[in-house]
Structure 1
Amino acid sequence: MKVWLKEKIGNPELFTGRQKELSYFLNWINRIKQELSQSTAILSRRKTGKSALLQRLYNLTFQKNDTVIPFYFEIRETDQWLLDFSRNFLFTFILQYIAFKTRKQEYFHYSKTNYSRVLNALKKEKLDYISHMIEDAELADRQEQADSLWDIARELPRMAAEHTDERVLQIIDEFQFINRFIFRDKSCKDRIENLAGSYLHTCEYKNAPMLVAGSWVGWLKRDLLRMLPGRFLFHYLEKLPDDEAVEMILKYSLIDNIPVAQDIIPLMAGLAERNPFYISSLIRSKYQEKDFTSKKGLLATLEFETLHREGSIKGTWMEYVLYALKETNDIHAKKIVLYLSRHREREVTRDEIRDKLNLEITDSELEKKLKILIHADIIEQGSSNFEYQGVRDNIFDKVFRGVYQKEIENFDPEDITREYKILSEKLLKKIRQLRGEYGRYKGAFAEFLIIHLLRYETCKNNDLFKSALHNLPDDFEFAEYGNIWSYHSPPLHEPEFQVDVLARAKKDEYALIWEVKNRKAKFSVKEAEEFLKKSDALKKLEGIEKSLLIVFSAGGFFKNTLEYLEKNNIAWTENKMWLKRK
């Protein structure tokens, strides 16, 4: 996949998992062609992968080059005059539109203030059928008619789609900021608190549906339900599945060159609650004695991230907490969060909260405080408006207690240490019971080690690593590989398949396609046939002309399997050298 829109994640290889969400939304995007998709909001807290998902969907849609034209816009968390905001929105769309139509990436980098240059580009690329809207926008801008400019900018995506009978996918990130950071006046004194409502009819058009996201879940839901009732479906971004959490740990460990022991991988995934933000924060922690080769080192790093003022996890959670306490800064709010967090496995009524905490306030005052805490995402609404629940997250509980428990009741930081130790023992016991899952971790770890060697060692020690493989072509040499990682078939591809390792090389060099089995059982002919079949599909999908297939099997091979591998020019090895990190 070519990266047309620069992704915030940085190295594109860092994007991990989210296969279920990718499949769902790519199907949702495909249905836009028949005007069947309803505007949707993705809800999840900060740093859980929303922007990465949105930008990857953008690039996949752009690359597909079908009749759906993607548009990505992020609302900045800074005060903006409506006129400036509208101009930025309009230019962002029109430049991405021209880039899509022409397949010229240079348009992403054009100035977002020069109307003449954009009009000339439209004329040059024979897209001047929408020039009249840009001319109208320029006139409104020159006369400082902010409302008119916003009307033109907001409607431009669907009007462009309507003109050519194409479709536009409108992706707007951090949508909740539209009501907080946009102002009617240039001096940014007169905030527009209902600007989201201007989308009331726009978001209903099926030729340009909206996919919005927000990291303040309660805040975004409140705005959508109040100003755009019934217009949006809600989609919650859940934790990563076990296998994707493991893949993320291995991938970040490899790219950041931070060793993680094989038996620590499932424990890290469990303690981090399969949360991509927690996993990346642990791997990239500032903790000077960070060590993931032992349980003790993992727990020490987790405590640093939870309790230390420089912990990334603590810092992010405190953004939510401080916002809530700014709105309702009293001891009652802290007591409520602490009580609900302690009983986070069940829903609690307002009556119980008032009675157990001896709160001498009216029911309406208590309800108001609880709503503020919900909108700040540090408690959750229960199954009714009368019931509430703590955030079901062990790490948030410890962050909040570390900061506020001492001012409410006795608190010993050693309690956190003991709780993490108890939790880690429970997780390890569960991991030992799930032998099949543990086998999966072993396989993933073996893939990680082979990838590490291909990235850093094989090219420097060609003869040594060639001697650890059988059935190599005479002209084979290890190369400097570009992208190296586990390959998943594109979402919606039938049949779905996965190849353990793909190492891309230059056109005249061998790309490597690996099957990795880190187990006691021998590798069979049936498995070899399946590997050959999915490798052929991969080469066709990726346009790979020159490749070498390799099988690593820690348990060895059946005799007839070796005959099959020899016949089909597939290399093989059972040499444990491939499981050693240099």
Structure 2
Amino acid sequence: MQYPLCEEIGAPELFVGRKKELAMLGTWIKQIPKRLGKSKAIFSRKKGGKTALVQRLFNKLWSENGPVIPIFYSISDAITWLPDFAITYFQIFASQYISFLERNPDLLQYVMDIEEIITYGKQKSNKMLVHQAKSILEHESKKRFSAMWFKACSSPHTFANIYNIRFLVIIDEFQYLSKYIYDPFTKEAIESLPGSYHALSESKVAPMLITGSYTNWLSTIVGKHLEGGRVTKHFFSPYLESDEGLVAVKTYAKAYNKKIFEQTALQINQLCYSDPFFISCLMQNQYEKHNLSTKKGVIDTVHYEISNKMSNMCIVWREYIDKTLEEINNINAKRILLHMSKNPDRVWIPKELKRELHLDISEQEILDRLRKLEKADLLQEGNAAIEFQGVNDGTLHLILRSRYGREIKDFEPDIRVDFEKRLQEMENTIQELEKEKQSLSGKLNFLKGEIAEEQLAKLIRKEKRFVLSKFFNGVNDTTRLNIIDIRTHVMIQRADGKNMEIDIKAESDCGRIILIEVKNWKKKLSVNIVKDFFEKVETYAQHNSKTKLLPAIWAANGFSEPAKALCFKKGIAGNYIETNN
């Protein structure tokens, strides 16, 4: 795979997990050539992994050189004038389109200017490139900036229709379109600019994939400008699956040359909630006692990352938290937010919060604060207008507790105490799982043995004239046997009263009896198992002295050399050559 688009995550190997998300997007993209792909919106908080996901998707599609051409835009939170934005937008589209056609990755780093695009269009007889570029320049010269923008933003859809090709238009941080693109005439932000995609979002030849780090903001834009089910919403978790998180810990530790052990890797993954950004910050933080090779070192280093205001984690979260709480600016809002983030699965109404937290403000004032917190993506709305619940984000709760816990007597300021508890709970869980695993392993081995016995017995029943040497080596008696009775789990009793079990007993009409031991083990059969089986054979012989016995052992993974030697010595047949049967 190639990486023509420089991924913000850094080295390609740092992209870990996201199998479910990539599988979902892969299924969707397969529908685009058939004009069945509906535009999508991915919602998640900042540093939640959205950009990494869509950039990897872009590189995957570009490398595959298949029927879907990816176009990637990242909308900046810097003020830009509409005509400048329109030209840049078209230049990016044309450069990435040409890059895909020519298999030239350099055009993703070097954006062609308008004259270069026109020259290429003429050389390749691509009339639409020439026409669109010239139209945009003409609209600019006549200050028809709205028409200029429409030409630019509709280009993927236009080219897809004319040339019967398919585009995927990826726009990262879509919500910024409503705030940072300015009208040269009014000198104000064009809040309605996302409405330019009202019809384009329904395109089946150039569907859109938009993302946003501010869930409420993007949701409001989608509801206002891309309404009517034009866009399918997907809420993207910043957290990896637990096993993926563990891989991320090891991957980042290797990349940043950090010494960790298997146990501390588990501890890091647990305390970081399998959050790749949190894990990345931990590996890079500037804590002077940075140590990830001991439990105490892990706890102290994580604590530094969520408590030091200059750490990467705190700087990122400050954008989310400070502006909102500064606007509300009172201890009650902080208490509400902390309490609800601690109990994110419960839905609360103002009356319940007033009673639970003994708040000295009215229910209406509580409701006003809840709505502001929800608007800032620090809470989420319930089904009813007065219902709210915390965001199920463990990282957010840690930052909140560290930042505001000292102001609130209900919360212990030293979070390291909780870290100790969480790691102890994890260790207890691991121990319980190990016990359960051992129990299940025993049951599974028993079940495998049961299945193997039944299969072998079934094969013997099928034979009209059974020869023991068909399944076993070391057979001394090669008589063809007419089996008249075959049973499994036959119990016999030793002279002292001890019960013993024969796995398979097959009786022939000539009086011979086959006794078989079945071991469906992963390891090779040991000499002790042969000794135990021979004791069973001798015990059976004591009760059936006139019967000729043909003993055999079937071992799924073969025999150790001592076990094989003892079988030869005692006249026990066996599948001495290893088998997968």
TM-score, length basis structure 1: 0.72
CA distances 1:497-553 after superposition (whole Å, capped 9, x unpaired): xxxxxxxxxxxxxxxxxxxxxxx96699xxxxxxxxxxxxxxxxxxxxxxxxxxxxx
CA distance in 2 between counterparts of 1:110 and 1:397 reads 42
User: In the alignment, which residue of structure 2 is the partner of 1:122?
Assistant: 121
CA distance in 1 between counterparts of 2:316 and 2:559 reads 56
How far 1:44 moved relative to its partner?
A: 1.1
CA distances 1:210-251 after superposition (whole Å, capped 9, x unpaired): 101111122211221222222211112222112211111111
The answer on whether the counterparts of 2:69 and 2:100 sit within 8 Å (CA) in structure 1 is yes
CA distance in 1 between counterparts of 2:323 and 2:173 reads 16
The answer on whether the counterparts of 1:119 and 1:128 sit within 8 Å (CA) in structure 2 is no
CA distances 1:358-384 after superposition (whole Å, capped 9, x unpaired): 353463x54443232123221222243
How far 1:336 moved relative to its partner?
A: 2.2
Residue type of the alignment partner of 2:130: S
Count of aligned pairs between the two proteins: 444
How far 1:289 moved relative to its partner?
A: 1.4
User: In the alignment, which residue of structure 2 is the partner of 1:217?
Assistant: 215
Are 2:145 and 1:146 equivalent residues in the alignment?
A: yes
Change (3 A) 1:12 1:558: farther
The answer on whether the counterparts of 1:51 and 1:173 sit within 8 Å (CA) in structure 2 is yes
Are 2:209 and 1:208 equivalent residues in the alignment?
A: no
How far 1:17 moved relative to its partner?
A: 1.1
How far 1:558 moved relative to its partner?
A: 7.4
Are 2:361 and 1:360 equivalent residues in the alignment?
A: yes
User: In the alignment, which residue of structure 2 is the partner of 1:473?
Assistant: none
Change (3 A) 1:216 1:185: same
CA distances 1:81-111 after superposition (whole Å, capped 9, x unpaired): 1111111111111110111111122322444
CA distances 1:444-483 after superposition (whole Å, capped 9, x unpaired): xxxxxxxxxxxxxxxxxxxxxxxxxxxxxxxxxxxxxxxx
| Unaligned stretches of 5+ residues in structure 2 | 439-520, 526-556, 561-581
CA distance in 1 between counterparts of 2:130 and 2:136 reads 10
Change (3 A) 1:104 1:559: farther
User: In the alignment, which residue of structure 1 is the partner of 2:371?
Assistant: 371
CA distance in 2 between counterparts of 1:305 and 1:35 reads 47
CA distance in 1 between counterparts of 2:345 and 2:31 reads 38
The structure whose Rg is larger is 2
CA distance in 2 between counterparts of 1:110 and 1:234 reads 33
Q: What pairs with 1:159-198 in structure 2 (closer than 5 Å)?
A: 159-185=158-184, 189-198=187-196
Once the two structures are aligned, what percentage of the paired residues are identical? 31
User: In the alignment, which residue of structure 2 is the partner of 1:463?
Assistant: none
Change (3 A) 1:59 1:145: same
| Unaligned stretches of 5+ residues in structure 1 | 440-519, 525-556, 561-582
How far 1:314 moved relative to its partner?
A: 2.0
User: In the alignment, which residue of structure 1 is the partner of 2:288?
Assistant: 288
Residue type of the alignment partner of 2:222: L
CA distance in 2 between counterparts of 1:249 and 1:405 reads 28
User: In the alignment, which residue of structure 2 is the partner of 1:96?
Assistant: 96
Residue type of the alignment partner of 1:17: G
CA distance in 2 between counterparts of 1:523 and 1:180 reads 70
CA distance in 2 between counterparts of 1:337 and 1:308 reads 20
Q: What pairs with 1:559-570 in structure 2 (closer than 5 Å)?
A: none
Change (3 A) 1:8 1:259: same
User: In the alignment, which residue of structure 2 is the partner of 1:137?
Assistant: 136
Instruction: Report the more deviating stretch, 295-304 or 225-234.
Output: 225-234
The SS at the match of 2:154 is: helix
Change (3 A) 1:144 1:286: farther
CA distance in 2 between counterparts of 1:126 and 1:201 reads 29
The SS at the match of 1:41 is: strand
User: In the alignment, which residue of structure 1 is the partner of 2:31?
Assistant: 31
The answer on whether the counterparts of 1:216 and 1:375 sit within 8 Å (CA) in structure 2 is no
CA distance in 1 between counterparts of 2:45 and 2:435 reads 32
How far 1:257 moved relative to its partner?
A: 0.9
Are 2:321 and 1:321 equivalent residues in the alignment?
A: yes
User: In the alignment, which residue of structure 1 is the partner of 2:418?
Assistant: 419
How far 1:274 moved relative to its partner?
A: 1.4
The SS at the match of 1:144 is: coil
Residue type of the alignment partner of 1:3: Y
How far 1:189 moved relative to its partner?
A: 3.9
User: In the alignment, which residue of structure 2 is the partner of 1:70?
Assistant: 70
Residue type of the alignment partner of 1:341: S
CA distances 1:6-49 after superposition (whole Å, capped 9, x unpaired): 11111111111111111110121111011111111111111121
CA distance in 2 between counterparts of 1:431 and 1:276 reads 22
The answer on whether the counterparts of 1:374 and 1:381 sit within 8 Å (CA) in structure 2 is yes
CA distance in 1 between counterparts of 2:392 and 2:194 reads 30
Change (3 A) 1:236 1:411: closer
The answer on whether the counterparts of 2:4 and 2:106 sit within 8 Å (CA) in structure 1 is no
How far 1:438 moved relative to its partner?
A: 9.7
User: In the alignment, which residue of structure 2 is the partner of 1:397?
Assistant: 397
Q: What pairs with 1:206-285 in structure 2 (closer than 5 Å)?
A: 206-229=204-227, 230-238=229-237, 239-285=239-285
Residue type of the alignment partner of 1:360: I
User: In the alignment, which residue of structure 1 is the partner of 2:22?
Assistant: 22
Residue type of the alignment partner of 1:214: G
CA distance in 2 between counterparts of 1:411 and 1:26 reads 45
Change (3 A) 1:383 1:84: same
Change (3 A) 1:361 1:283: same
Q: What pairs with 1:403-482 in structure 2 (closer than 5 Å)?
A: 403-409=403-409, 413-414=413-414, 416-435=415-434
Change (3 A) 1:352 1:15: same
Change (3 A) 1:79 1:421: same
How far 1:75 moved relative to its partner?
A: 0.2
Residue type of the alignment partner of 1:11: A
Let me know the Cα RMSD of the aligned residues: 2.6
User: In the alignment, which residue of structure 2 is the partner of 1:3?
Assistant: 3
CA distance in 1 between counterparts of 2:136 and 2:436 reads 58
Change (3 A) 1:354 1:82: farther
The answer on whether the counterparts of 1:42 and 1:211 sit within 8 Å (CA) in structure 2 is yes
Instruction: Report the more deviating stretch, 257-266 or 366-375.
Output: 366-375
Residue type of the alignment partner of 1:158: H
The SS at the match of 1:70 is: strand
CA distance in 1 between counterparts of 2:410 and 2:289 reads 29
CA distances 1:347-403 after superposition (whole Å, capped 9, x unpaired): 11122234445353463x544432321232212222433211122233322321222
Change (3 A) 1:145 1:376: same
Q: Which has the higher contact order (CA 8 A, sep 6+)?
A: 1
How far 1:155 moved relative to its partner?
A: 0.6
How far 1:182 moved relative to its partner?
A: 1.2
Residue type of the alignment partner of 1:148: A
CA distances 1:40-96 after superposition (whole Å, capped 9, x unpaired): 111111112111110111011111112211000000011111111111111111110
How far 1:411 moved relative to its partner?
A: 5.8
Residue type of the alignment partner of 2:361: E
Residue type of the alignment partner of 2:17: G
Change (3 A) 1:143 1:213: same
The answer on whether the counterparts of 1:245 and 1:274 sit within 8 Å (CA) in structure 2 is yes
Change (3 A) 1:82 1:262: same
The answer on whether the counterparts of 1:327 and 1:372 sit within 8 Å (CA) in structure 2 is no
CA distances 1:176-227 after superposition (whole Å, capped 9, x unpaired): 11111111127x8411122112211110111111101111122211221222
